[in-house]
Structure 1
Amino acid sequence: MIEGGAIRDLAKDLRDASDSAILRVTGMIDRLPERGASDRLLDGLRPRLCALRPPRPLNFSRALFMPLDAVIVPPNQWHVSDGTIPRSLIAPVAALVESQYPELPSLQAMLAAGKLPQAAFWRQAAEILSASPMPDSWRAAEFQTSTGIAPQALTPLLAAIRVVFAHVGLFRANGRSATLGAPAWHESAWRAPAVQSLRPLLLAAARSGPTTWSVVLTLLFEQSTEPAALVETVTAVTAETRLAAPLGDGLRRVIGAVIDKLDQAAPQPSPGSVLSDAALDAQSLRAARLAGFSALRGEMVGFARSLTARRQEMASECAAQLADGLNSAPTACAASGEAASCMPGTPEERQGAAERLESRLKALRRLDLAARPLGEAQTHETLLAQAAAFYCGNDGPAWLERGDRLRLCEILVGAEAALRLAGMS
């Protein structure tokens, strides 16, 4: 097993590695029977892995903590009051739950088939954690050294995990847009619950203590593209308690921390390439969330005002990414595998290229829709109109069928404008 300085050196080298190299290393680590210190190689790559979305084996611990994924951080980035869960706690908690889970063989078969459990799985996990005394080994100095978690922090962390697991039925599997096909901004298996259904979760979090309150709010705001509506609901629930003032302070701390982290999630292309479809969706989520936080009003309006410069920067950044993506899409999507050809030969190659191009243009259109509220709307309109005219005109890719051209134009500018460009209206 690789240890110490070698891990740090490899992690440093991987920061600038190509997407394909990162995917190979991730697959290798996932195949290890015991990941150990090798897992630290991935700590600095988490933002890129979120954008690349490589297939990962669905083991017990990954399935168990999937609802909490948005608040899990490396141990050296965790603090007891920041509304996150240290990654080092996953293995011991998962081992404890797995050792007492009543239907383990059938669950393991389900996970091996790549199927997600039902909400009852997490409710049972919450019951197991509630009924199980904390193992003595968790209070030992060795446990604190290996996890970075002091014994006094364990109880509130476990309480936060239990509350989320017990209410996991509120979190909806991510739906797909009927128009643009892909998930609503990202491929995460979990979304923030519908705002109107939050009351039971928020009341349970408020009663559990400040750590649970911070974890639950961080989880919700990290995934929400409608923070203004979420603030309104949270504020209404806190008014029902006797702790409105400290809960309100906790809310403001969480919003400030989440806003500060928006810039950390910026997807970057690997050297010599443009953003992938997955990275474009990550950027779309980032833009949508920034637009959402910019809509905060009332007591939170100060946060919205503080985002003026970021709005302008991201608007320009997204417009540039939209232009780059639209310009590179025909060439990038025509290539088959490692080939650099811009002219697919066989019917199968042409169909595959058309499908890749449609997927790319949908991802770019999602970026357009998410980023427009930030600014540069007229730039977006011009870019999309130019791209649509290209696909419907004589200069468009010769390998595209007429029906494919019309479909691509529809994605970019809508059905009515596409028909006009095609001379059919």
Structure 2
Amino acid sequence: MSQALRELRELGQAAAAADDAALARVVAVLDRVPERGEADRVLDPVRPRLRTLRVPRPLGLPRLLFLPLDGVILPPARWTRGAAAVPRSALMVLAGAVQAALGAEGAAIAAACPRHTIQDDAAIAALGGRLWEPAARLLPEAPPPGWPGIGLNAGDYAGIAALCRPVWRAGPAIWAALSAAAEGPPEALARPALTAAAAGGAGPLTATLATLLLRATAPGLLAQLAAGLEPAARPVALAALDSILAAPPPPFAALDVRAAAEAARLTARRLEDLENCSLLTGEWQRRIQACRRVADEACRAAFLAATEQELVAPAQRLAAAPAVGDTEVAAMEEGARRLRVLEGAGRRLGNTQAYDRALRDLTASLRALGAQATNPEGLRPMDLARSLEILAGPEAAATLLPPGLLGGTEPAARR
């Protein structure tokens, strides 16, 4: 194994174990690797987490070109011949062929891309408007140079090209809907995207629906809209919903507390929309409830772990310290605020009683810790009570203090 390959794999291992900020740094290093093959492979295990975090990855012509197909780009090992999907190993070769066919315009688009990231919606709309539709016209009929070197045959090229062309023609409409995915997306934007893709057949519709569903906050309404386009579209919409229900919950435990809370809110919103989807009755509804339970359990486990990390462990550390300053106490209170946001989001997934139990257990733990706080220069019961008030309310906080001591005012400075 070469030194460069060994270093790439070490970076991949670091990415899997990294916290959110460290993961962003590792990905930034990998994004500077010119040869994408191994870099893409080491990133495959963390792609769901990257999508949840929306790490601002740099834009390049290949990434721009395939944004309308983002939902069906697969690792080569998972890609199967004839599927409405594109193996990741093919992206650079296809993008190179498109850029070459575009000539000076392709070079200009490629030069403009690095000034932006995948979060720059307006820049993507402008550059994509110059790229997607011409790419559909100019993608070569025959496999481009380099195609045999990625382990695919000529027949594979024909099928992948036939999938890409209609989706690229619909690219501007797809991106307009994707940019408004947080609002559903609205029917006024989703319908043109789905209609344009459906004109190319079931495969392009499948790809477009999968891409929109990556971000859609109203997946049920989106699938209903697709199913209503024509009779042949209904099985496509149901297959897309089946994929959503078969997917694992967000990686709550691997996210920082704020990102986990945002993922919980989005998951709850998507599940509520699916529960109201007229396409999904009977056994479908039972599957939705099973997904809700799995997501709820994963989120609660993340909340319990975060409670230990954000509040219990810092309180124990400060309790053992000979002196504690305002900054350290303020940091503990900020951790309680983050936990409160995650708790509120997690309750939307269903099991509110479990959060009540967790807060009672936390209150008991902090009460025991407060009873041991006798050093006037160290952690005080009031410090614990303020954090507990933020997270669990004044009644829970009052159990840590003598009657009447918790009055809602800011604690006095220590020095």
TM-score by length of 1: 0.69
> 1:37 — aligned with what?
38
The answer on 1:217 being equivalent to 2:209 is: yes
Shift of 1:228: 3.0
Residue 132 of structure 2 contacts residue 169 of structure 2 at CA under 8 Å; is this kept in 1?
yes
| Matches of 2:294 and 2:40, distance apart in 1 | 34
Q: Does 1:380 align with 2:359?
A: no
More displaced stretch, 31-40 vs 46-55? 46-55
Displacement, 1:42? 1.6
**CA distance 1:208–1:122, change in 2 (3 Å):** same
1:169 aligns with 2:170: no
Distance 2:191 2:366 in 1: 49
The answer as to whether partners of 1:82 and 1:254 remain within 8 angstroms in 2 is no
1:294-373 equivalences in 2 (<5 Å): 294-298=275-279, 300-331=281-312, 350-369=329-348, 371-372=349-350
Give the Å deviation of 1:406: 6.5
What secondary structure, in the 3-state scheme, does the structure 2 residue paired with 1:304 have? helix
1: distance between equivalents of 2:278 and 2:36?
A: 46
Contact 1:52 1:276 in 2 (8 A): no
Match of 2:157 in 1: 151
Say whether the 8 Å CA contact 1:78–1:84 is kept in structure 2.
yes
- Residue 304 of structure 1 deviates from its aligned partner by 2.0
Contact 2:72/2:85 (8 A) holds in 1: yes
Q: CA deviation at 1:162?
A: 0.6
Are 1:76 and 1:148, in contact at CA under 8 Å, matched by a contact in 2?
no
8 Å contact kept, 1:83–1:214: yes
Name the CA shift for 1:231/1:56 in 2 (closer, same or farther; >3 Å). closer
Partner of 1:18 in structure 2?
17
Decide whether the 8 Å contact of 1:192 with 1:220 is kept in 2.
no
Residue aligning to 2:137:
131
1:251-278 deviations in Å (ceiling 9; x for gaps): 2222223322x22x542646xxx96543
Letter in 1 for 2:41: R
1:130-151 per-residue CA deviation (whole Å, 9 max, x = no partner) reads 3314174438761562699812
Residue 234 in structure 1 maps to residue 234 in structure 2: no
The 1:329–1:133 alpha-carbon spacing in structure 2 relative to 1, beyond 3 Å, is closer
Corresponding position of 1:267: 251
Deviates more, 1:199-208 or 1:44-53: 44-53
Confirm whether residue 249 of structure 1 aligns to residue 235 of structure 2: yes
The letter for the 2-side match of 1:254 is: A
Look up the match of 1:186: none
Q: CA RMSD in A?
A: 4.8
Structural mapping, 1:68-107, within 5 Å: 68-79=69-80, 82-95=83-96, 96-97=98-99, 100-101=105-106, 103-104=108-109, 107=112
The answer to whether residue 193 in structure 2 is matched with residue 193 in structure 1 is no
Deviation track 1:388-408 (CA, whole Å, cap 9, x = no partner) reads 99999x959755896x87665
Q: Which residue of 2 aligns with 1:203?
A: 195
Shift of 1:169: 1.7
SS at match of 1:79: coil
Contact 2:64 2:128 in 1 (8 A): no
Partner-residue secondary structure (3-state), 2:229: helix
C-alpha distance after superposition, 1:215-236 (max 9, x if no partner):
1122233333433322332233
Distance 1:328 1:195, change over 3 A: farther
CA separation in 2, counterparts of 1:58 and 1:314?
Answer: 32
Letter in 1 for 2:31: D
- Which segment drifts farther, 210-219 or 20-29? 20-29
Q: Which amino acid aligns with 1:86?
A: P
Partner amino acid, structure 2, of 1:257: S
Check the 8 A contact 1:53/1:278 in 2, yes or no.
no
Q: Deviations over 1:104-135 (max 9, x none)?
A: 48734632798551522222212221331417
Is the contact between residue 213 and residue 250 of structure 1 (CA under 8 Å) also seen in structure 2? yes
CA contact (8 A) 2:227 2:234 kept: yes
Q: Name the structure 2 match of 1:181.
A: none
Which of 112, 115, 139 is the equivalent residue of 1:110?
115
- Distance (whole Å) between structure 1 residues aligned to residue 289 and residue 355 of structure 2: 20
Give the conservation status (yes or no) of the 8 Å contact 1:323–1:383: yes
CA distance in 2, matches of 1:149, 1:358: 56
Question: Which of the pair has more CA radius of gyration?
Answer: 2
Contact map agreement 2:195 2:229 (CA 8 A) in 1: yes
Question: What residue ranges of structure 2 are gaps of 5+ in the alignment?
Answer: 371-379, 397-404, 409-415
Distance 2:365 2:64 in 1: 45
Q: Aligned pairs, how many?
A: 382
Q: TM-score, normalization: structure 2?
A: 0.70
